[in-house]
Amino acid sequence: MRHRERTLELLDTQSGGDVSRIVVDGVGPLPGATVLEKARYLEREGDGLRRLLLSEPYGDPAMSVDLIVEPSHPDAQAGYIIMEAMGYPLYSGSNTICTATALLQSGMIPMREGSQSVVLESPAGLARIRAQVTDGRVVSITTQGEPAYVAEEGLSVEVPYYGEVRFDLVWSGAYYAMIDASRHDFTLGATEQIALTAFGDAFVRAARPGLLQVHPELGDVGPLPFAHFMGPVREAGRTGSGHVRYQSPSATYVHPGVLCRSPTGTGTSARLALMARRGEIHEGDELETISPRGSRFIGAVLDNAQVGDYPALHSTITGGARLMAHSHITVDLDDPLVDESDLEHVLSAPSGAGATDGVAIR
């Protein structure tokens, strides 16, 4: 009997310590006219790919996976579907930084010295990216995703063992519960990571029932996936254009059970939207968020926007990523540790016959 084996080609990257595995080959074309439709299909019919690459023995839940797919928008050079422990976020800053870096460093998108524009299509829409290339390496990525908005303010929930937790709900590619860390005696230092994870887990489980799950343009986006802990803000000088640069300790919990190593791009965007709503930051100002492990992203306030009935905010996130590995992994579909029930049909044929979504670069 012939072994049922398939091969996946991966580019492993990290941004701020968060690992993203970019799948560039080994997955067949997915149904759907847009990247969002492809992501919905994968979530509904092919979730085995996410579970495989984020679970032992192939991966770890703290990682992310980004599948390169055919874009639908004429401006986009590639599409990408984001997969994490919590499911399928529609947009992610760190995953966008990693995906753009991987495509450029690998040559899948031709890389040019200096400043270079790249457009990728996420399930949430277009990510407009500026890559800075120095001496043949991508040293920074600045990405502008979909606008963020404050959905609800002044919420609270009773969390077992922790008492009342107050929070605001902000959309920035997914819904974030924004929590003032000082109210719960967190300074967001490295020694608090286990305690923050336990707190985040208890909070999300308590807060989810009845919480908003609908985006005015994207429809049902699922239950609350993220809690973002906000430290104190301090002024840290001026930007090159004379605007204010702020700094703040920050941490993001991803349900279930993951505390991000980076301060997260969408968490930073959500923070900017909340600060702008409160008049604490203005167009042109920047916020540098610092994770418990010391990694940093810089968020910059752009102009105002509108999402449905919500006043919203355009912003950019700047960070860097490193390419760590280029590998081919063998997926043994007869291995009892591999659940092939919703996996085999999305993988390319073993001979490589048929088009592969992962090489659809314009």
User: In whole angstroms, what is the distance from residue 48 CA to residue 51 CA?
Assistant: 5
Give the other-Cβ count within 10 Å of 322's Cβ: 14
Q: Which of 15, 20, 64, 92 is catalytic?
A: 92
Query: Is-catalytic flag, 250?
Result: no
Q: How is residue 112 annotated by DSSP?
A: -
Nearest to 52 by CA among 348, 347, 353, 255: 347
Question: Which residues does the annotation mark as catalytic?
Answer: 92
